[in-house]
């Protein structure tokens, strides 16, 4: 299943296979959690300063921020197919978001509300997180074999904080 | 010369390792040499640190003498920032000279790895000695630590054959991509200790006491954990659980630390009310990942030199024992 999710994310599956995997995702909460984690990791690997834990939250925010277009779109035969597939995608995403809310509605809701009210998308968390990094470093065994790495990270960390401030 | 003798002593001294395989034992000895050299060698040099899309150059000077260990780090890019450490205490001097203090909590006086830690490390990583390579003009031995699962990173190290210093180190993902690395581009290893002639002469053994109060005070060592963490990867053992104050916060946080012999995972648990504006989500700095999430009335933050999926897995598995029994 993990391989399938990964392939689906990379767009390597054919339509029929994608459908099978999506169906499995809908039915299996564990696989759905896996799907979310894969997205989070994929975001993290792109190395932004901060990544949100819940894609459905950011998706809702993105949708909320989308301008509402009142003018009718120009209808073209080809465009209709895109519209159908786009609508299907949106439905799938909405279903995902709904499923994730169902899975753990209380916690998810708390996450969503706190993020919406407190943090804009581009906030910098370095100041707050630095405390955790220092506290972790005091006990981490990486001070032993990887001591030199630990030194290297210290100066970089201080420098990063200054840039972010 | 002195360091070579120490290396030989380390080889002879720690024969009572709980590692049966002689080849593996030699690999383990390398780790001891690295740990010892990082503490007890006098050196100064310049290194380049690369992670994500950042590349930074810094100077480092390190002294070990009767007074203990002193290190000075100065970044060479951007606004100046100087970090000095004197044994276990650490100070940061940014451009405006306001001293920021961080009291490190040294767990042991002697830097050699404990046999227990080495055997844990051997259980979690396959250690290989590879080819020799030339780094910053010095001959190095390449050492690879490959994890036995995908929940931790692989580490590749280039060890200076004469001194045991790590001249280059890289953290690799399971796809063999470099997550973070540093390499010395210039290095001077001093065989004798003459602090007055080194760039460290400005740091006296009694560096001025920090101007700011030590915020991260450890209140107590926890007797029995109120928390259950099932998501800790196999091979990680709990090495500490403490109650401490975090900077600028009134309530006490619980910190649990787990080790696999090489890297660590810390779990911080605080009441939610004392952290109204905490950053939730995943943040990264090279191979270190931090993930914060709300868990009913608590804020759970997991920090570790492990892949993002591991900190997520750990944070999602934190449960309060009290709530479980109800």
In this structure, what token pair is assigned to residue A30?
Answer: 């564990």
Confidence at residue A155, expressed as pLDDT on a 0 to 100 scale: 66
Please choose, from the candidates B123, B164, B162, B113, the residue with its C-alpha nearest in 3D space to the C-alpha of residue B145.
Answer: B123
Q: Is B69 helix (H, G, I), strand (E, B) or coil?
A: strand
Is A159 within 8 Å of B81 when comparing Cβ atoms?
yes
Confidence at residue A64, expressed as pLDDT on a 0 to 100 scale: 67
- What gap in Å lies between CA B140 and CA B158, rounded to an integer? 5
> Residues 103 to 122 of A: which have CB under 8 A from any B CB?
106-107, 110-111, 114-115, 118-119
How many independent structural domains does chain B possess?
Answer: 2
Name the residue of chain A whose CA is nearest to B259's CA: A141
pLDDT in tens, B6-62: 544 444 444 444 445 777 778 888 888 888 888 889 999 999 999 888 888 999 999
Is B264 within 8 Å of A132 when comparing Cβ atoms?
no
In this structure, what token pair is assigned to residue A134?
Answer: 């220092």
Is B263 within 8 Å of A142 when comparing Cβ atoms?
yes
As a whole number, the mean pLDDT across chain B is 78
Find chain B residues with C-beta within 8 A of A5's C-beta: none
Same domain for B99 and B30, yes or no, is: yes
Predicted confidence band of residue B139 (pLDDT cuts 50, 70, 90): very high
Is A147 within 8 Å of B39 when comparing Cβ atoms?
yes
User: Has residue B172 got a pLDDT over 80?
Assistant: yes
Name the residue of chain A whose CA is nearest to B300's CA: A132
Same domain for B124 and B179, yes or no, is: yes
Report, as an integer, the average pLDDT of A80-102.
62
In a domain, B58, yes or no: yes
In a domain, B67, yes or no: yes
Is B263 within 8 Å of A140 when comparing Cβ atoms?
yes
Tell me the CA distances in angstroms from A87 to A35, A90, B116, one per residue in order: 20, 5, 58
Residues 6 or more apart whose CB falls under 8 angstroms from that of B240 comprise A139, B221, B255, B256, B257
Confidence at residue B132, expressed as pLDDT on a 0 to 100 scale: 94
In a domain, B208, yes or no: no
Range of B238's domain? 218-325
Between CA A144 and CA B109, with CA B127 as vertex, the angle to 5 degrees is 20
Report, as an integer, the average pLDDT of B137-162.
94
Domain borders along chain A are 1-51, 53-123, 126-164
CA distance to partner chain A, nearest, from residue B35 (Å): 5
Report, as an integer, the average pLDDT of B299-314.
94
Confidence at residue A87, expressed as pLDDT on a 0 to 100 scale: 65
Between CA B297 and CA B304, with CA B302 as vertex, the angle to 5 degrees is 175
Same domain for B311 and B187, yes or no, is: no
Of the candidates A40, A151, A158, the beta carbon closest to that of B312 is on A40
- What gap in Å lies between CA A130 and CA B142, rounded to an integer? 32
Residue with structure tokens 């994310």? A9
**CB B256 within 8 Å of CB B229:** yes
Within 13 Å and on the Cβ side, how many CA atoms surround B65? 18
Q: What percent of chain A has pLDDT over 90?
A: 0
Please choose, from the candidates B295, B263, B125, the residue with its C-alpha nearest in 3D space to the C-alpha of residue A136.
Answer: B263
Of the candidates A125, A152, A157, the beta carbon closest to that of B279 is on A125
Is the model more confident about A42 or about A80?
Answer: A42
Please choose, from the candidates B215, B269, B211, the residue with its C-alpha nearest in 3D space to the C-alpha of residue B242.
Answer: B269
Find chain A residues with C-beta within 8 A of B51's C-beta: 47, 156
Please identify, among B202, B234, B254, the residue that sits at the C-terminal boundary of a domain. B202
Confidence at residue A109, expressed as pLDDT on a 0 to 100 scale: 36
User: Has residue B142 got a pLDDT over 90?
Assistant: yes
CATH number of the structural domain spanning residue B103: 2.50.20.10
**Can you tell me the ipTM of this complex?**
0.80
**Most B-contacting residue of A139, A161, A163 (CB-CB within 10 A), to test interface:** A139
Same domain for B155 and B60, yes or no, is: yes
**CB B285 within 8 Å of CB A153:** yes
Same domain for B145 and B263, yes or no, is: no
Please choose, from the candidates B315, B42, B49, B76, the residue with its C-alpha nearest in 3D space to the C-alpha of residue B193.
Answer: B42
Of the candidates A41, A141, A157, the beta carbon closest to that of B309 is on A41
Name the residue of chain A whose CA is nearest to B239's CA: A139
Tell me the CA distances in angstroms from B152 to A135, B9, B114, B173, B231, one per residue in order: 21, 32, 21, 8, 13
Residues 6 or more apart whose CB falls under 8 angstroms from that of A120 comprise none
**CB A148 within 8 Å of CB B168:** no
Predicted confidence band of residue B111 (pLDDT cuts 50, 70, 90): low
User: Has residue A120 got a pLDDT over 60?
Assistant: no
Contacts within 8 Å (CB) and 24+ apart, B244-248: B244/A135, B244/B216, B244/B217, B244/B218, B244/B219, B245/B215, B245/B216, B245/B217, B245/B219, B246/A131, B246/A132, B246/A135, B246/B215, B246/B216, B246/B270, B247/A131, B247/B215, B247/B216, B248/A131, B248/B215
Predicted confidence band of residue B210 (pLDDT cuts 50, 70, 90): very low
> Residues 37 to 96 of A: which have CB under 8 A from any B CB?
37, 40-41, 43-45, 47, 49-53
CATH number of the structural domain spanning residue B257: 3.30.200.100
pLDDT in tens, B217-271: 666 666 678 899 999 999 999 988 988 888 777 788 899 999 998 999 999 999 8
Q: Is B310 helix (H, G, I), strand (E, B) or coil?
A: helix
Predicted confidence band of residue A34 (pLDDT cuts 50, 70, 90): confident
- What gap in Å lies between CA B190 and CA B261, rounded to an integer? 30
- What gap in Å lies between CA B308 and CA A53, rounded to an integer? 11
Same domain for B127 and B256, yes or no, is: no
**CB A141 within 8 Å of CB B259:** yes
Report, as an integer, the average pLDDT of B155-178.
93
Same domain for B20 and B154, yes or no, is: yes
A86-95, B60-69, B162-171, B191-200: least confident range: B191-200
Confidence at residue A124, expressed as pLDDT on a 0 to 100 scale: 38
Is the model more confident about A128 or about B74?
Answer: B74
CA distance to partner chain B, nearest, from residue A165 (Å): 12
Is B186 buried (19+), middle (13-18) or exposed (0-12) by CB count in 10 A? exposed
In a domain, B168, yes or no: yes
Confidence at residue B200, expressed as pLDDT on a 0 to 100 scale: 42
Same domain for B147 and B293, yes or no, is: no
Predicted confidence band of residue B69 (pLDDT cuts 50, 70, 90): confident
Is B279 within 8 Å of A160 when comparing Cβ atoms?
no
Chains A, B: CB contacts under 8 A, how many?
Answer: 200
Please identify, among B142, B169, B202, the residue that sits at the C-terminal boundary of a domain. B202
**Most A-contacting residue of B14, B38, B171 (CB-CB within 10 A), to test interface:** B38
pLDDT in tens, A55-72: 566 666 666 666 555 554
Tell me the CA distances in angstroms from B201 to A104, B196, B197, B209, B210, one per residue in order: 58, 5, 7, 18, 19
Report, in this order, helix, strand and coil percent for chain B, each rounded to 5.
20, 45, 35
Neighbours of B87 (CB within 10 A): 14
Is the model more confident about B87 or about B207?
Answer: B87
Judged by a CB distance cut-off of 8 A, whether residue A1 touches chain B is no
Confidence at residue A44, expressed as pLDDT on a 0 to 100 scale: 64
Within 13 Å and on the Cβ side, how many CA atoms surround B247? 16
Predicted confidence band of residue B273 (pLDDT cuts 50, 70, 90): confident
Same domain for B274 and B193, yes or no, is: no
Is A155 within 8 Å of B277 when comparing Cβ atoms?
no
Of the candidates B85, B268, B285, the beta carbon closest to that of A160 is on B285
Find chain B residues with C-beta within 8 A of A135's C-beta: 216, 244, 246, 255, 266, 268, 303
Q: Where are the alpha helices (DSSP H) in B17-60?
A: 22-40
Predicted confidence band of residue B196 (pLDDT cuts 50, 70, 90): very low
**CB A147 within 8 Å of CB B38:** yes
Confidence at residue A63, expressed as pLDDT on a 0 to 100 scale: 67
Of the candidates B31, B81, B303, the beta carbon closest to that of A145 is on B31
In a domain, B211, yes or no: no
CA distance to partner chain B, nearest, from residue A90 (Å): 24
Report, as an integer, the average pLDDT of B88-113.
53
Same domain for B229 and B195, yes or no, is: no
């Amino acid at each position: 299943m993990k391989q399938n999710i990964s392939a689906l994310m990379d767009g390597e599956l054919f339509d029929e296979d994608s459908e099978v995997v999506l169906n499995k995702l809908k039915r299996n909460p564990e696989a759905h959690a896996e799907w979310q984690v894969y997205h989070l990791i994929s975001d993290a690997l792109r190395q932004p300063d901060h990544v949100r834990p819940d894609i459905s939250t950011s998706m809702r925010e993105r949708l909320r921020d989308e301008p509402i277009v009142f003018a009718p779109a120009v209808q073209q035969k080809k465009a209709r197919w895109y519209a159908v597939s786009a609508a299907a995608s949106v439905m799938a995403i909405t279903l995902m978001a709904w499923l994730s809310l169902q899975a753990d509605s209380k916690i998810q809701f708390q996450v969503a509300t706190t993020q919406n009210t407190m943090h804009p998308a581009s906030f910098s968390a370095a100041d707050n997180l630095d405390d955790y990094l220092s506290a972790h470093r005091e006990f981490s065994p990486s001070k032993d074999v990887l001591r030199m790495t630990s030194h290297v990270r210290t100066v970089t960390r201080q420098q990063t904080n200054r840039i972010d401030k | 010369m002195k360091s070579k003798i120490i290396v030989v002593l380390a080889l002879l001294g720690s024969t009572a390792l709980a590692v049966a395989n002689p080849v593996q034992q030699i690999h383990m000895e390398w780790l001891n040499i690295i740990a010892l050299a990082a503490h007890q060698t006098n050196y100064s040099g310049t290194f380049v640190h690369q992670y994500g899309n950042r590349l930074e150059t810094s100077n480092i000077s390190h002294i070990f003498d009767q007074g203990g260990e002193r290190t000075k780090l100065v970044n060479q890019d951007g606004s100046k920032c100087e970090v000095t450490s004197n044994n276990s205490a650490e100070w940061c001097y940014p451009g405006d000279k306001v001293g920021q203090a961080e009291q490190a909590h040294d767990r042991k006086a002697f830097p050699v790895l404990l046999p227990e830690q080495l055997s844990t490390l051997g259980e979690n990583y396959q250690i290989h000695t590879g080819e020799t390579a030339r780094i910053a003009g010095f001959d190095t031995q390449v050492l690879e630590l490959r994890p036995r699962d995908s929940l931790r990173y692989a580490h590749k190290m280039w060890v200076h054959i004469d001194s045991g210093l790590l001249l280059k180190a890289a953290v690799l993902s399971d796809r063999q991509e470099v997550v973070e690395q540093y390499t010395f581009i210039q290095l001077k290893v001093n065989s004798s200790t003459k602090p007055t002639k080194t760039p460290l002469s400005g740091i006296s053994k009694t560096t001025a006491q920090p101007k700011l109060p030590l915020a991260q005070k450890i209140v107590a060592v926890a007797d029995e954990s109120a928390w259950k963490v099932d998501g800790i990867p196999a091979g990680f053992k709990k090495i500490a659980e403490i109650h401490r104050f975090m900077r600028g916060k009134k309530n006490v946080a619980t910190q649990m630390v787990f080790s696999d012999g090489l890297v660590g995972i810390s779990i911080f648990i605080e009441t939610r009310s004392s952290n109204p504006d905490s950053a939730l989500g995943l943040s990264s700095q090279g191979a270190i990942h931090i993930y914060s999430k709300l868990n009913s009335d608590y804020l759970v933050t997991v920090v570790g030199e492990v892949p993002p999926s591991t900190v997520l897995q750990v944070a999602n598995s934190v449960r309060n024992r009290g709530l479980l029994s109800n």
